[in-house]
Amino acid sequence: MKQVFLGLGTNLGHREQNLEQAREALKNFSVLKRASSIYETDAWGYEDQPQFLNQVLEIETDFSPYKLLCRIKKIEKEIGRVKSFRWGPRLIDIDILFYDQGIIRLPFLTIPHKSLHERAFVLVPLAEIAPDYKHPAFRLTITELRDNLPKLDGVKKWISS
C-alpha cells in the first residue's frame, strides 16, 4: 500500500456534499487514513468566483500513480465536473499532492503537485494532518512550507451549516 495525499476543492453546488461524495468514492479503491478539517478559502489564480471549500486526505492505495489519476478523473466526472478554464469554478477538483516519496514528471502528471508549496489552501489543511511530512523535492516539512508563505488569510476553518 502506498501513502498518498490528495487535495479536494469545490466552489459550485452543494460544496459540503461534493466533498462527501468524493471521499465516499475514494473509499472504493483506497483506505482513508486521515482527513483534515474543511476550510473555506478565497479563490486562487482567477479570483472573480465563489469561495472554495478545501480539504486534504491521506489515503493508502495499491493503485499506481497513473491508475489513481485515471480513477480520480472518473470520480470528478461522475460528481459532475465539466471542463472549464484554468483555475475556474468547479463542482469538484481532486489533486494528487504526494504519492509516497515519489517524484514524477510527465506531461500529464506531476508529483509532488507543482504548486502546492505556494498555496495556503493546500498547506494549511495538509499541515493539520501531516505537519512533519517532508516534501521529497524541497526537503522541507509541510509546516516549514506553510510558514514560508507570505500570508495565510483567506483560509478559515469551515463551520458546517
Active site residues: 81, 90, 93, 95
In the 3-class helix/strand/coil scheme, how is the chain assigned residue by residue?
CEEEEEEEEECCCCHHHHHHHHHHHHCCCCEEEEECCCEEECCCCCCCCCCEEEEEEEEEECCCHHHHHHHHHHHHHHHCCCCCCCCCCCCCEEEEEEECCCCEEECCEEECCCCHHHCHHHHHHHHHHCCCCECCCCCCEHHHHHHCCCCCCCEEECCCC
Residue with cell 465539466: 82
CA–CA dist 51, 42 (Å, integer): 5
